[in-house]
Amino acid sequence: MHFKLLIAYFLFSFSLLSAPGAMDDIVNAVKAGNSKAISTYFTDNVDLKVLQQEDVYSKAQAELIVKDFFSKHAVKSFNIDHKSTKTDSQFAIGKLETSNGKFRVYFLLKKSADKFKIQQFRIEPENE
């Protein structure tokens, strides 16, 4: 009986270690142009900049702005250039190539109640 519990514990622990985190989920959502998946990580009020629109928006407003961007800019590729994964905050900076140009994407995650949430999200034209 103890052996079964020990095996169950190790399997559970391993699944936690191998489960994708917020950072991976967000990167995959950007690659898919999936605003709904991105918005699940937004804080209730997120500091958002998408092209010329910049303000602190509610989670619902921010999702609509990101959705509008992806509807006009079909994603071709997204690659992370820099990232930091600290204990209570994380960020990533990447290059997004779309059907209508190249962009720089930045997002900042803060830990809140043991979950990482997007506090800041930016999509800006890439300066080459």
- In percent, the amount of the chain with pLDDT more than 70 equals 84
3-class SS of residue 115: strand
Mean pLDDT of 53-58: 97
pLDDT above 70: residue 128: no
Q: List pLDDT tens digits, range 64-74.
A: 999 999 999 99
Between CA 82 and CA 84 the distance in angstroms is 7
- What pLDDT is recorded for position 13? 43
Q: Domain 21-125, what fold?
A: Nuclear Transport Factor 2; Chain: A, (3.10.450)
Q: List pLDDT tens digits, range 13-52.
A: 443 333 458 999 999 999 999 999 999 999 999 999 999 9
